[in-house]
Amino acid sequence: MNVSVQNPQAAGISAEEWAIRCDLAALYRLVAHFRMTDFIYTHISARLPGPEHHFLINQYGVMFHEMKASDLVKIDLDGNIIGDDNKSRRVNAAGFCIHSAIHMARQDLMCVVHTHTAAGMAVAAQKSGLLPISQHALKFYGHLAYHGYEGIALDLDERDRLVADLGMHKAMILANHGLLVAGRTIPEAFNNIYYLERACQAQVAAMSGGAELILPPEEVRLHTAAQFNQPGEGGLEHYEWAWGSALRLIENDKPDYRA
């Protein structure tokens, strides 16, 4: 089966899956817009509803700025491509390893984003990790995990350690590697990677000046983190508002991500 953009339902794609494909393709375009790409490497995935535990991930080789809904590949938790007779489609093996680990273990998370930005890799190389020196960074205070570097993520045994280190958080710094975030929705995942990336950029810029840094008191750090991380469904509405605004950044340029 090949994805038919004219009639996705005729190709066996439900309206719900097509909507997720369009949002995920939009997220790829937004990550490219904010210059968080690394050529054809790194990856973003979204879980599809249903008991099969299928998820969508990028076709290896398609650039983020050109991603379309029809470019996304549906795979299962074993890495098998589902419902596609196009034998040329490939999935990044490291991407499968990282994303399948999260999707297997965290049923509460729908979307996973992994990046290799200069600022993200720089902070991932710093022993202190993400410092609580900006409002953006305080969003993750007490809500950020760390995972030690084990080489290119090709060993499926690493999945257990990734999941164990992530715990119940939605963001993690992969030491000597990059950033990993997730969200209950695609808009929340976008918000998390935007904030974490900006926090890393601010840290690199602040440290490059050589001046002594100001660290807020512990009670202020905890208070700010609690403001950001509301329990239950808190915050999801705000993520949707921001998502709607962000889409205008790409829809005025090339709205063909829905193709």
Q: What is the mean pLDDT of residues 22-37?
A: 97
Concatenating the DSSP letter of every residue in 73-90 gives EEE-TT--B-S---TT--
Q: Residue 42, by phi and psi: left (phi above 0), alpha (psi -120 to 50) or beta?
A: left
Integer Cα distance of 66 and 138 in angstroms? 33
Integer Cα distance of 224 and 141 in angstroms? 8
Going by C-beta distance under 8 Å and a sequence separation of 6 or more, which residues neighbour residue 221?
A: 132, 138, 141, 142
Per-chain mean pLDDT for the chain: 90
Going by C-beta distance under 8 Å and a sequence separation of 6 or more, which residues neighbour residue 213?
A: 131, 133, 206, 207
Domain-by-domain residue ranges, the chain? 8-258
pLDDT, tens digit (0-9, with 9 covering 90-100), for 30-80: 999 999 999 999 999 999 998 888 999 999 999 999 999 999 999 998 888
Q: Per-residue pLDDT for 3 more than 60?
A: no
Integer Cα distance of 61 and 64 in angstroms? 9
> Do the Cβ atoms of 250 and 26 come closer than 8 Å?
yes
Of 3-12, 29-38, 42-51, 104-113, minimum mean pLDDT range: 3-12
Measured over the CA atoms of residue 202, residue 207, residue 211 and residue 216, the dihedral's sign is positive
CATH superfamily of 8-258: Class II aldolase/adducin N-terminal domain (3.40.225.10)
Give the percent of the chain with pLDDT over 90: 73
- Structure-token pair, residue 51: 């008991």
pLDDT, tens digit (0-9, with 9 covering 90-100), for 145-191: 999 999 998 888 899 999 999 999 999 999 999 999 999 999 999 99
Of 1-15, 87-101, 243-257, minimum mean pLDDT range: 1-15
Q: How many angstroms separate the Cα of 172 from the Cα of each of 196, 209, 238? A: 9, 26, 22
Alpha helices in 209-235 (DSSP H): 218-228
Q: Per-residue pLDDT for 258 more than 70?
A: yes
The whole-model pTM stands at 0.91
